[in-house]
Every structure is written in C-alpha cells, then in structure tokens.
Amino acid sequence: MMLNIAAYLFVAIDDADALALRLRARAETLGLRGSMLVTPEGLNLFLAAGEAPLREFLDWLREDPRFATLHAKESWSKALPFKRLRVKRKAEIITFRRSDASPLALGARAPTVAPQTLARWIAQGQDDAGKRLVLLDTRNQQEVAYGTFEGALTLPIDKFTDLPAALDPHREALQDATVVSFCTGGIRCEKAALWLRQDGWDNVLQLDDGILGYFEQVGGAGYAGGCFVFDARVALDPQLQPLQDAQA
C-alpha cells in the first residue's frame, strides 16, 4: 500500500529557491512522487510513496524548526497516484492575489472550527450559540461537482480568485449566520476566511484541515458524495478511498 499525504503550512521562507532544490533532491533520493509548492509564505505538499520513505521525508523536513508543526493528512492507495515528482517555486501557496489574506502578513489565522464541532453543529442545525449555520464551499464548480456538504453555499467559480466577486451578492443574506468556509485540505478556506474577516465578515470561521481532515476525523456526517483530489484517484469518499472504487 502507498501512503498519500496532503499538507501545508504558512510560514515565512526567505530561501525559497534554495529550499526547493533541497526538497527536490531529498524527495528524489527517497523515490517520492507528487507535487511540492515552495513559496515565501509557506509550503503546499501532495506526496505519495511507500510508508517508510515518505515518513522519513516528513521527519527530515520537520527537523527544520520552521516546519516542525507541519501536519499531514493521510490516506492510502493500492498504487502511486502520481506519475512524477514536481517541485515548483511560486509566489503564493494558492493564488488569491489579496494582500490581506495571508496569516503571515496579518500575524494571525482566522478562527477555526474543529471537524468534531462542525459535525455536531450540522446535526443540531445551528452553532452552539443558536445561530443558523451556513457552510461556504470555496472550491471551484468542477470540484464541487464530485461532492460537498449537504445544503452548502456553492459558487459558480472556475478559479479561487473569482471567489470575492461571486460571494459579494450574498453578504446581506449571511449577516445573521455563522459561516464556516471549507475546501479540500484547508488552504483556500483559510485564506478566504481571513480575507472575509478583514473585509468586515466577522461571522466567518474556517474548517480546520478542510474536507480531508473532516473525513479523517469524523467521516461523512452531513457530506454528500466525495472530495476531489489533485491526483489519479480523482475523488475520495468519506472513508478516504477512491470514489470510483466505492461506486463500482
């Protein structure tokens, strides 16, 4: 069985070019496949390999104090879902082009809600203060087509940079709700929640660790379908198995 991990961390990286070279060299030596984005604001990793070499890589990476807190969401597959290793140097972990959406620039994250808490709120139909709950899907419509939380607010967007304009017409209708932004692994909903709060949406939280973390910790409570992933498995069900296998 192959171990698959999705991980990201917002952290200042002032040697991104050199770090990208070191990461590639180490990953190639260990036979890892997948993608790594190296940016001045942090890392974004989707990797797969046998368990031992992938855990060795993560242990090595966490020896750098900057990445000691890197948390990886795990799943398993029968075969490697990536054909090759790609290491890219980018300006952002996920392109948003909003200077007020970085935890590094603002010195804080947007408030989070844990998967177990969100599952309870979904079952209650409201948050613990009695406010109505709205789940905001920050992914694009192609990803949403594979599955999303039941009753979630989805937007007709093709890329993440489209989100602010698409969401603006809903501003007034969402003022009395607790809005929980969510995405695949946490990056987009973290940036979206932080930007929205800077834009005056003080009722917005982010789902910690995204859909994959929710599946890993809670399962599929309140979720319909699967979660699109960026590899050959296409989408995972709430048991973190390829959706097409579950439907076969």
CATH number of the domain to which 53 belongs: 3.30.70.100
Domain end (from 40, 58, 89): 89
Query: Is the same domain home to 169 and 197?
Result: yes
Indicate whether 41 belongs to any domain.
Answer: yes
Q: What gap in Å lies between CA 166 and CA 145, rounded to an integer?
A: 17
Contact between 3 and 48 under an 8 Å Cβ cutoff? The reply is yes
Task: Supply the DSSP symbol for 110.
Answer: P
Query: Is the same domain home to 214 and 182?
Result: yes
Tell me what pLDDT residue 245 has.
Answer: 61
From residue 231, how far is each of 38, 40, 47 by CA, in Å? 19, 25, 10
Tokens, residue 2 = 């192959």
Query: Is the same domain home to 80 and 106?
Result: no
Domain end (from 31, 63, 89): 89
Tell me what pLDDT residue 248 has.
Answer: 42
Q: Residue 121: which CATH number?
A: 3.40.250.10
Domain end (from 40, 67, 89): 89
Residues near 107 by beta carbon (within 8 Å), at least 6 away in sequence: none
User: How many domains does the chain contain in total?
Assistant: 2
Q: What is the pTM of this model?
A: 0.93
Indicate whether 132 belongs to any domain.
Answer: yes
Query: Is the same domain home to 130 and 243?
Result: yes
Indicate whether 120 belongs to any domain.
Answer: yes
Tell me what pLDDT residue 130 has.
Answer: 97
Place of tokens 């939380």: 149
Q: What gap in Å lies between CA 182 and CA 205, rounded to an integer?
A: 9
Query: Is the same domain home to 143 and 58?
Result: no
Cross-strand pairs, 149: 223
Domain residue limits at 71: 2-89
- The neighbour count for residue 170, using CB atoms within 10 Å, is 15
Backbone angles phi, psi at 157, to 5 degrees: -115, 150
Q: What gap in Å lies between CA 187 and CA 185, rounded to an integer?
A: 6
Closest CA to 221 of 84, 108, 124, 109: 124
Would you name the residues annotated as active-site residues? 183
Query: Is the same domain home to 112 and 62?
Result: no
Tell me what pLDDT residue 243 has.
Answer: 84
Indicate whether 94 belongs to any domain.
Answer: no
What residues in the chain have per-residue pLDDT under 70? 245-248
Query: Is the same domain home to 232 and 143?
Result: yes
